Structure 1
Amino acid sequence: MKRRPVLAWAMYDWANSAFAAVVIAGFFPLLFQDYWSADIDAAGSNLRLGLANAVASLILIALAPLLGAVADHLGARKRFLFRFAIPGMLATAALAWVPGGAWPAAAALFICASVGFMGANVFYDALLTEVAPESRWHAVSGLGFGLGYLGGGLLYLGCVIAALNPAAFGFPDAGAAARAGFVATALWWAVFSLPLALAVPERPAPAGATAWRSGWRQLRETLRHLGRLRPVVIFLVAYWLYIDAVHTVIRMAVAYGRSLGFEQGDLIIALLVVQFVGFPAAIAYGRLGERWGPRRAVYLGLLVYAGVCIWGVFIRSPWEFYAIAVLVGLVQGGVQALSRSLYARLIPAGRAGEFFGFYNLLGKFAALVGPVLFGLFGTALGDVRYSMLALIGLFAAGAWLLGRVPESAFRGEQDEPRMNPDARK
């Protein structure tokens, strides 16, 4: 395994995780409610934000599998990655200039930025099979998530310091400092994407005017014969169930904490804890997957998540929120990293872009369903605390289905080989 391409690939996680930390989980939800949607109550603002997230996810659901198939035929995963990432960077920076009260403009730019972020990840994930041999996929995937937590956490920390001390950085108020964080995020994303552009190899594929038709044909064939790849289908359903719950924890943690009466400062600190605990934990989890077995390591992470959900029902003090943040940080990146590398072992040769399109599609569809279940449980049972119970069933069902995937499938004993022989060199 050549270290330079591996590190260059993992640095893209360092780059784009700034968007996940600063925009998705950090400042955008707060500014959207307090600055762009100040004309309505919190419930109405959350509805607008939820719809924006849903629109972005639906756009990606419509595009990802086809574009992945086309990129496979062209040998152009890096090219497609940047065709999504660059508009995402520009839309992120543009958020800084949206005036107060202009929630439609803020929502539209957020949708564009989110589609760019999520779409680029389809092709980034697919490049894992190009930079490392199969025996190192778990460790390399963990390295990517680990650097992502560190990079995103460092930029988020800088933005928090600026927002808490705006005058020291030349800003008139905390809101202006927070909006400047969007520009910083776009620049961070752009600069640290350069190593991937320059140092990650990609095997060329026959190109031509028929690439789009070939992509359509390949996608139709995959859908028609997906039943033949039964282990892939079972894994994808299992992944959809438990990643639904993981994404719900990520997206709803701040809202849940605020509904329990915790201060914004406590919630910001908890997010920072997740980022910085997640850095070494994701790397260590990748090593654990190699030594202990990736599926067992995923089971451990899901068990910890279930325990967190039970604890979350009874949480009373900020220190408990911090402790839960530590537990989430210990397993969140590991579950995501090992899921990605396990899936890479299942998919057919030469079709990583297409199949990671389905993988990311299910991950984004989970972001549509999980928060709704979270809200419905709290409403139906009369207390927001009981929302956490909705997630335990998702974790349990996902773990059970993951156990239904034959071990032989992860070793490549299927009708179609997982990867081309050249990729093992």
Structure 2
Amino acid sequence: MVSVRQRRLAEGAIGLQDDRKQVRAWVMYDWANSAFATTIMAAVMPIYFVKAIGGTDADWGFTQTAAALVIALLSPLLGAMADRAGNKKSYLRIFTFIGAAASVCMALPGKGDVLFVSLLVVVGMIGFGGAGNFYDALLNDVASPANRERVSARGFAMGYLGGGLLLAVNLLMILKPTWFGLPAEGSAPSQISFVMVGIWWLLFSIPIFRHVRERPVAEAARRRNQVAEGVKRLAQTLREISHYPELLKYMIAYWFLFDGINTVIVMAASYGTTIGIESTHLITALLITQFIGFPATVAFGALASRVGGKRMLYGSLMMYLIIVVLGFFMKNALHFYILAALVGLVQGGSQATARAIYSRLIPPDRTAEFNGFLTFTSRLISFMGPLMFALVKVFTDSSRYAILAVAFFFVVAMAVLTFVNTAKGEREAIRPFAG
């Protein structure tokens, strides 16, 4: 019998022949959509939401909760449908257009339009999250299992670079509006930055649409009713998940890891604004995260290939636990800079490694379905982070206790990850299902 290690070594040799054009095109999508993650989810919009629109950090938390729930409900069905029809790229294109259009429209609301902005952010995040589901699923089409940590890490690294580059331009436009022919006062620089996100996202998505090829599916499957088949496959996934016990344990760890990291990303700027840190310091610190994240993510992926993804993931969770505890005591811009640098060291690498590990624990012929299922379940949990932040803030009237509460998610993720046997999980993923 061929062991998992032998199979991975063989696939690694095959992986050396992975189509480089497809890999580059796939990686480039992270460059494209990370503009939304940096400018709208993490940096400019959370501050704009509080200062220009008049919302609160609790309002922002509830907005993130709503987006997470909608994405959770959509993702598994769409993933199952895409696997059956072999059209992950089509769904990727649709959700990309939705997210980019919502980004452009965010330039329209004005002071007091909290509900309108919240609705646009929710729609934008549906586009971002839905597209991300199909993008992740395409990793299995462009990279062999032994190369996925490296390719996945390259994607996140390019995301840091691309998202950071556009964020730097936006920051310069916000700090020096007259250099761009804009009025010194007002919200025009932030509004233009939202339009730039939409254009950037669409423009740099062209390579993945043109060059990435999906594995073909049977013609008979293509002719079936995709919605009905999607529902059937989703129900089948729910029934069969116990057939993959290591995957199930890993998914539980991933849910809490994802929720903790997501909460840090989406709440950091609004938290900093609430405790009195100036907008320029907040955006500059987040820019530091991006540019530290680029080389750190590449290094993280290389180390994960050498010492093991699980070990590196556990270390990153320890770092996040330290970050949120230090965040509780944060008082000035220097502290925020330090924490931003620490986040940059582990954020992209932990997400890339988590994505790569998951790709090896799922059945190779049902990637979009299982990625959709992961998105569904993780989003069902992920609303808890922003919601916990918002509720703790409401009941304690303290954003500091709200950020400290996020430590719960990292502790649980570390505890569950300890019991995951990834080698056994890889064997479970490729064995025939004996229903």
TM-score, normalised to structure 1, is 0.91
Which residue does the alignment assign to 1:423? none
Q: Are 1:313 and 2:328 counterparts?
A: yes
Counterpart pick for 2:44 among 18, 24, 27 = 27
Counterpart pick for 2:251 among 233, 236, 241 = 236
Q: CA deviation at 1:235?
A: 1.0
Q: Percent identity?
A: 38
How far apart are the structure 2 equivalents of 1:49 and 1:384? Answer: 13
8 Å contact kept, 1:57–1:368: yes
Which residue does the alignment assign to 1:393? 408
Q: For residue 199 of structure 2, what is the amino acid of its counterpart?
A: L
Counterpart pick for 1:95 among 87, 106, 121 = 106
Counterpart pick for 1:373 among 380, 388, 409 = 388
Q: For residue 76 of structure 2, what is the amino acid of its counterpart?
A: P
Q: CA deviation at 1:145?
A: 0.5
Q: CA deviation at 1:134?
A: 0.7
Counterpart pick for 1:287 among 283, 293, 302 = 302
Which residue does the alignment assign to 2:8? none
| Superposition pairs of residues 17-166 of structure 1, within 5 angstroms | 17-36=34-53, 38=54, 42=55, 45-166=56-177
How far apart are the structure 2 equivalents of 1:380 and 1:51? Answer: 14
CA distance 1:394–1:87, change in 2 (3 Å): closer
Q: For residue 69 of structure 2, what is the amino acid of its counterpart?
A: L
Q: Are 1:5 and 2:22 counterparts?
A: yes
CA distance 1:7–1:223, change in 2 (3 Å): same
**Deviating more after overlay: 396-405 vs 157-166:** 396-405
Residue 131 of structure 2: SS of its match in structure 1? helix
Which residue does the alignment assign to 2:356? 341
How far apart are the structure 1 equivalents of 2:339 and 2:141? Answer: 36
Residue 113 of structure 1: SS of its match in structure 2? helix
8 Å contact kept, 1:346–1:409: no
Q: CA deviation at 1:275?
A: 0.9
Q: CA deviation at 1:229?
A: 1.7
Residue 223 of structure 2: SS of its match in structure 1? coil
- 1:149-177 deviation per Cα after TM superposition (whole angstroms, max 9, x unaligned): 11001101101111111122122245111
Q: For residue 145 of structure 1, what is the amino acid of its counterpart?
A: F
Unaligned runs of 5+ in 2: 1-17
How far apart are the structure 1 equivalents of 2:246 and 2:382? Answer: 23
Residue 30 of structure 1: SS of its match in structure 2? helix
Q: For residue 175 of structure 1, what is the amino acid of its counterpart?
A: S
Q: For residue 109 of structure 1, what is the amino acid of its counterpart?
A: L
Which residue does the alignment assign to 1:195? 207
CA distance 1:380–1:55, change in 2 (3 Å): closer
- Please report the RMSD computed on the Cα atoms of aligned residues, expressed in angstroms: 2.0
Q: For residue 354 of structure 2, what is the amino acid of its counterpart?
A: S
Q: For residue 101 of structure 2, what is the amino acid of its counterpart?
A: L
- 1:115-147 deviation per Cα after TM superposition (whole angstroms, max 9, x unaligned): 111100110000000001111000000000010
Report the number of matched residues: 412
Q: CA deviation at 1:185?
A: 0.6
CA distance 1:35–1:342, change in 2 (3 Å): same
Q: For residue 39 of structure 2, what is the amino acid of its counterpart?
A: V
CA distance 1:110–1:287, change in 2 (3 Å): same
How far apart are the structure 2 equivalents of 1:107 and 1:376? Answer: 18
Residue 412 of structure 1: SS of its match in structure 2? helix
**Deviating more after overlay: 119-128 vs 198-207:** 198-207
CA distance 1:47–1:373, change in 2 (3 Å): closer
**Deviating more after overlay: 376-385 vs 316-325:** 376-385
8 Å contact kept, 2:26–2:212: yes
Unaligned runs of 5+ in 1: 419-425
Which residue does the alignment assign to 1:422? none
How far apart are the structure 1 equivalents of 2:121 and 2:273? Answer: 22
Q: Structure 1 segments of 4 or more deviating over 6 A?
A: 379-382
**Deviating more after overlay: 188-197 vs 262-271:** 262-271
